[in-house]
Amino acid sequence: MTRARHVREIDDLDDRALLEVEGLKTHFRTRNGVVRSVDGVSFDLERGRTLAIVGESGSGKTVLSRSIMGLLPPHNVVREGRVRFGDVDMTSASEAELRGLWGAQVSMVFQDPMTSLNPVVRIGRQITESLRYHLAMSRQDAKQTAISLLRSVGIPEPEHRMRWYPHQFSGGMCQRIVIAAAIACGPKLLLADEPTTGLDVTVSAQILDLIHRLQQERYMSVILITHDLGVVTGRSDEVIVMYAGQIVEQAPTSVLFRDMRMPYTEALLKSAPRLSNPSHTRLHTIPGNPPNPADLPKGCRFAPRCPYVQERCREEEPPLRAADVPRHWYACWYPVGSPEGTRALQENQAVGAPGAVGVV
Amino acid sequence: MAGSGTAHLRDADESLIRVENLVVDFPAPKGQKVHAVSDVSFDVYPGETVGIVGESGCGKSTTGRAILQLPRPTSGRVLFEGVDLTGLSGEEMRQVRTKLQVIFQDPISSLYPRRTVSELVLEPLAIWDVGSEEDRVERARLMLSEVNMDYDTVSWRRPYEFSIGQCQRISIARALMLNPRVLICDEPVSALDVSVQAQILNLLEDMKRRYGLTMIFISHDLAVVKNVSDRVLVMFLGKTCEVAGAETLYASPAHPYTRALLMASVISSRALSRAGTSAAPVLDEEERESQTEMPSSVTPPSGCRYRTRCPRASEICGVQEPSMRQIGEGHFVACHFPLGAPASTEATAITN
């Protein structure tokens, strides 16, 4: 292999985390006021770990991933805070510097595989392109590498399929190809934004397992963005729950499911239908709608919909604070399972507050 | 599996909808045909919810639409209240459609964007010239309040002013304006967030109870289907695999495909139970291998259409298509080698 021309090598040999996001804010200036899509998000991610970011539509998870990548429109965006990736400050990096990172050190898998591939270019070329550009591989080497990549993501007869166009593949197969292209240059960080939404259950399980396997084999860090809490278990080390542009809870995956503190996390878990429930089980719902990001409520942003809500929640915004378990943080004045939380819930149930009834 | 046959049909006199040997083909290039639905039969009793599950391309939506004669099926019969809909003229069908309403996956594109909410929900009444202007508004007010919307606040707004969940509520209100007997729900919650999904599913259950609706609920999400259905039909590539009561199907799936589907979603479901551990259930190597691509519906595999993906397939599966047969109370499967039940007579004959 010739020497790489277009890779910005990053130094991550020190003991710092691979990715560090600090006080990240992304606000859009619109006619309806300032939309605070990401509002003060901080976290870090170590090499070889998987972080899941979970939230409903409009919670800011996609804007967050794009802010990390530096893929935001140049106008009407206010960006604050810092994103450090290896030894590069992504927030102040020039576009040329970012281009040396995109695809090579950090790459992204988007929701819709059909639109993230170029429909008029053979898939082989779409994979070899980044190998040739970033790693300056010869045509032959790039071709061989692409074939082995396609094989590793489970495309049968890769030699032959290299000459196919995206429309000749199904959605699941296209997503495999997108993943092959994303990992081609051996990135250190893979951002997967709803990689399986729109795919069938069987296919979606395969794609998530594939990402997990590649992550283990290649010691990549993965950020898995999803609206489905179900997909994160067994496939992530840590989970961040986002609501209205902020982190409301962060915990190691098993801790989150066993010991959630934030009423929003609890409500999300409870509202999903489960196979273990009998038919016609009444589902738990979260009353109301997520707040308008251009007109956020004072105090806790979940307060208007929260079954535990108290006067303080409507006045004072709860900070993210540490729970008893290491690496578990939550933002709530009356957390689930605590004496004050239980009392708050009981008081609300006693007066029949919407949402509180039916919570066990 | 992926078989034919009508062994699972129940009493014809009691069924509200009875679909017999439904076939829907679409033309494909080079004189070929897409076999979207091939010989599917099922029935729905009044007040019952029948769920249809399967992956994309299995023909579940086509089946739902074929009941409404959108388009007319290639062959087979669709009986509604004892009348064969396939034989009706356009005008007769138009009359029947007032009793058969449908809700689609994407509520935003199923509402005409330039009309106001009141125009949208009042249109069915205007078309059928039901009642006076005041009666109609009264009915709209009632139906919108049933879906938790206030007529006076929303009537003059247009669909783009609402969230996707609210649009789905408007679609439901509109579908119920003419007091239909049957509601066909085609992936009604697939585009919604989990919290909104729960609201819509609860709402559909309420409406069903309050207005005595019969529902056909089409979805790819097994947990959602289980939540709303009394009986579930599993489809694969235009064929029926398994029919059973919701509890039975999920407790003891007999078809290898049903099991594969369940395994794929058990992962997410287990996560959601509070005691969930981080261990995903393990499919053995063979089963994982088998979860490959959907075969072509233009040139489907011979015999059982699932055999190319099936870990249990043997020679007979390529030769003879399994037909539906009973393996338990209300539990029918089309498979030569079902799980937890004896092999089919054809398969046993060969082994002997």
Domains of chain B (ranges, CATH numbers): 17-99+180-351 (3.40.50.300)
Element (H, E) at A338: none
| pLDDT for position A359 | 57
CB spacing of B195 vs A203 below 8 angstroms: no
| pLDDT for position B349 | 82
| pLDDT for position B350 | 78
Determine the residue among B187, B195, B218 to mutate to test chain A binding: the one whose Cβ has the most chain A Cβ atoms within 10 Å: B195
Element (H, E) at B55: none
Q: Which residue of A has its CA nearest to B278?
A: A234
B35: left (phi over 0), alpha (psi -120 to 50) or beta: beta
| pLDDT for position A358 | 55
Sequential DSSP letters for A13-79: -SSS-SEEEEEEEEEEEETTEEEEEEEEEEEEE-TT-EEEEE--TTSSHHHHHHHHHT---SSSEEE
Report the distance separating Cα B11 and Cα B18, nearest Å. 10
Nearest to A283 among B227, B229, B269 (CB): B227
Residue located via tokens 């969930």: B276
B121 CA: distance to closest CA in chain A (Å): 23
Q: At A303, which amino acid appears?
A: A
Nearest to A228 among B226, B262, B268 (CB): B268
The answer to pTM > 0.90 is: no
Are residues A102 and A186 in contact, defined by beta-carbon separation less than 8 angstroms?
Answer: no
- A346 and A232, same structural domain? no
List CB contacts (< 8 A) between B277 and chain A.
233, 254
10-residue stretch averages of pLDDT, chain B, 352 residues long: 75 90 91 91 95 89 92 93 93 93 88 93 93 93 91 90 88 94 92 86 93 94 92 94 93 92 70 42 45 75 90 89 92 93 84 70
Are residues B236 and B209 in contact, defined by beta-carbon separation less than 8 angstroms?
Answer: no
- Rg (chain B; Cα; Å): 21
Q: Which residue of A has its CA nearest to B276?
A: A257
Tell whether A246 is covered by a domain.
Answer: no
List CB contacts (< 8 A) between B228 and chain A.
279-280
Report the distance separating Cα A143 and Cα A232, nearest Å. 34
| pLDDT for position B309 | 86
- A204 and A97, same structural domain? yes
Tell whether A244 is covered by a domain.
Answer: no
Q: Which residue of B has its CA nearest to A56?
A: B193
Report the distance separating Cα A50 and Cα A250, nearest Å. 13
| pLDDT for position A309 | 93
Tell whether A355 is covered by a domain.
Answer: no
CB spacing of A275 vs B165 below 8 angstroms: no
- A295 and A222, same structural domain? no
Tell whether A282 is covered by a domain.
Answer: no
Strand order in the sheet with B100-103: B100-103, B182-186, B214-219, B49-53, B231-236, B239-245, B331-333, B325-328
Are residues B2 and B257 in contact, defined by beta-carbon separation less than 8 angstroms?
Answer: yes
A129 CA: distance to closest CA in chain B (Å): 27
- A310 and A196, same structural domain? no
Can you read off the two tokens belonging to residue A304? 């208007």
Which structural domain, as residue segments, surrounds residue A324? 265-274+288-350
Tell whether A298 is covered by a domain.
Answer: yes
Residue located via tokens 């979207």: B36
Check residue B304 and report its DSSP letter.
Answer: S
Are residues B130 and B121 in contact, defined by beta-carbon separation less than 8 angstroms?
Answer: no
Report the distance separating Cα A54 and Cα A229, nearest Å. 7
- A179 and A41, same structural domain? yes
CB spacing of B193 vs A57 below 8 angstroms: yes
Number of domains in chain A: 2
| pLDDT for position A273 | 86
Q: Which residue of B has its CA nearest to A228?
A: B194
List CB contacts (< 8 A) between B55 and chain A.
200-203
Tell whether A56 is covered by a domain.
Answer: yes
CB spacing of A273 vs B262 below 8 angstroms: no
| pLDDT for position B283 | 46
- A219 and A323, same structural domain? no
List CB contacts (< 8 A) between B255 and chain A.
none
- A270 and A213, same structural domain? no
Which residues in chain A land under pLDDT 50?
A: 1-4, 360
List CB contacts (< 8 A) between A278 and chain B.
247
Tell whether A257 is covered by a domain.
Answer: no
CB spacing of A202 vs B194 below 8 angstroms: no
Q: Regarding beta strands A50-54 and A221-226, do their DSSP bridges make them parallel or antiparallel, or are they unpaired?
A: parallel
| pLDDT for position A288 | 79
CB spacing of A279 vs B247 below 8 angstroms: yes
- A269 and A226, same structural domain? no
- A329 and A187, same structural domain? no
**Phi/psi at A22 (5° precision):** -135, 115
Report the distance separating Cα A257 and Cα A263, nearest Å. 12
| pLDDT for position A21 | 95
CB spacing of B278 vs A289 below 8 angstroms: no
List CB contacts (< 8 A) between B224 and chain A.
273
| pLDDT for position B281 | 42
Nearest to A276 among B165, B261, B269 (CB): B269
Structure confidence by residue, pLDDT tens digits, A44-65:
999 999 999 998 888 888 899 9
- A211 and A313, same structural domain? no
